[in-house]
Chain A
Amino acid sequence: MYDFAYHRPKSVADAVALLKGKEEARPMSGGMTLIPTLKQRLARPSDVVDLGGIKELAGIKVEGNNVVIGGMTRHYDVASSADVKAQIPALASLAGHIGDPAVRNRGTMGGSVANNDPAADYPAAVVALNATVTTTTGKHTADDFFKGLFETALGEGELITSISFPKAEKAAYVKFPNPASRYAMVGVFVAKTASGVRVAVTGAGPCVFRVKAMEDALAKNFSSAAIKDIKVPADDLNNDIHGSAEYRAHLVGVMARRAVDAANK
C-alpha cells in the first residue's frame, strides 16, 4: 500500500470540505473494497477521508412508506434491524448474505452502492425497489444512479448520505454465489411496489440492469410460470473464468424464477 494523508472528519460538511479540490482524494466508508484495492496498489489516493467518525451518516428510520438507511450503515445493522426485517425483509436478507460476518460488521450500504461493483448485491435492491439515493448535492433516482462498470452519477466529492427504499408488497433477492469468492455470479432482486414490478440483475453484466420483458410479464401475472420462457440475451454479459456469458444468461432466468417463488411465499 502506498502511504496517504488520513483524515477522520466528524461531520458530513467537514468530509466534503476535505475532499474539495483534491482530485486524488478518496472517501472511505467501511473500507472493505478500498483497503484491499490499496493493498494491491491498484489505487494511489493522495488523501483518504474516513467517514467512520460521522455519526449522522449511520442509522435506519421508517418515514411513511419508506425505510431510510444512512450511507454509513453497516451490513450487519441492516440485516439485524427490526424495522428493515418488518418492512422489507428481502433487503435485510440481502444484507445478511453479503461477504461474511466480519465483512458485514465493517462494510456499508453507501460504500457498496457508491462503488457499484458489477457483482455487488445492493445495487439490485436499489434498482428493483426503485429507491432514491440522497447525496450531499441532491437526489438521484435508482435508474439514473448506476451508469456502468464501477460508474455512478456521483460527482467529485459527492457523498451518499442516505438511501430511501419504498416498502414492497412482495420482494425477494436470490443469488448464485461464486463458490470461491462468494460474490454473486448472478443475483436477481424482484420487487412489487407501488410503482410496479421491477426485476434487477446484478453480477451478470458490467452493471446492474433491469429485465423489462420479465417485469411486463410479472405485472400481469406475478408467478414464476409467467417468466419461464423469457430469455435474456448473452451479448453484453460477463464472460470470464467463472462462467460464460451464456451460462450467466441462463442463471438470470433461474434466479429470477426462484426470486419470484420466494417473494410469493
Chain B
Amino acid sequence: MTISVAMTVNGKAVSGKVEARTLLVQFLREHLGMTGTHVGCDTSQCGACVVDVDGKSVKSCTMLAVQAEGAKVITIEGLAESADKLHPMQEAFRENHALQCGFCTPGMVMSAIDMVKRHNYQLDEATVRRELEGNLCRCTGYHNIVKAILAAAPAMKSAGV
C-alpha cells in the first residue's frame, strides 16, 4: 500500500510516497537522505535511532513513517545552529570525549536533550544513568557520556535551549 506522507523535519516541510510498512527511520535515511539517525539493533533496544517527534523522544525504528504524518520531527542534523556553532549537548559531548566510534552518538545526544528538558535542567549522576536505559554504547563505558550530559544541562539552561 503506497501512502503519501508529509511532515516537518528540522523545520522544513517534507513529503514523500512510502509503503505502509516504511519505518520513520527508513523515511529519514533512505527517502530524505538524512543519515545522521542511525540503526543499531533494529529491535527497539539500542536507541541509536532516537529522534524527537512532537516534543517526545521516540525510537524511529519502531514507528511507521505514516504515524508521523503532520508531525514535527527533529533529528541530530537539526540541532546545531551552524557548522561552527554546535548545540550545547553536542559541544559537551566533544568537550568530554563522550564518544569513541560515534555510532550511538546521534541517539545519545537526542535522548540526552530530552532527558535534560524533562528534568528541568536539573540532573544528578544516578538519574542520568537510569535515564540512559534505552541507549546502548559499546565503546565508552558511559562515564564520559554521563559527564557530558551533566555538563550540558546548565549550558542548555543558560543558552535557553
List chain A positions with a Cβ less than 8 A from chain B. Answer: 1-6, 8, 31-32, 35-36, 38-39, 48, 50, 52, 76, 99-103, 105-106, 181-182
Q: Do A106 and B3 touch (CB < 8 A)?
A: no
Q: Do B44 and A103 touch (CB < 8 A)?
A: yes
Q: Do A48 and B20 touch (CB < 8 A)?
A: yes
Q: Which of B28-36, B62-70, B83-91, B145-153 faces chain A?
A: B62-70
Q: Do B67 and A4 touch (CB < 8 A)?
A: no
- Would A105 and B56 be within 8 Å (CB), given that A36-B43, A36-B44, A39-B42 are in contact? yes
Q: List 21 A-B contacts (CB under 8 A).
A: A3-B1, A4-B20, A6-B3, A32-B62, A35-B64, A36-B43, A36-B44, A38-B21, A50-B64, A50-B66, A99-B134, A100-B133, A100-B135, A101-B111, A101-B115, A102-B50, A102-B57, A103-B44, A103-B62, A105-B56, A106-B56
Most buried by A among B19, B63, B111: B63
A114 to B40 Cα, complex, angstroms: 29
Task: Report the contact-size class of chain B (Cβ under 8 Å from the partner).
Answer: 20 to 34
Q: Does B106 contact A (CB under 8 A)?
A: no
Q: Chain A residue with minimal CB distance to B56?
A: A105
Q: Which of A1, A5, A8, A101 contacts B134 (CB 8 A)?
A: A101
Q: Does B59 contact A (CB under 8 A)?
A: yes
Q: Do A6 and B47 touch (CB < 8 A)?
A: no
List chain B positions with a Cβ less than 8 A from chain A. Answer: 1, 3, 19-21, 23, 42-45, 47, 50, 56-59, 62-64, 66-67, 69, 111, 114-115, 118, 131, 133-135
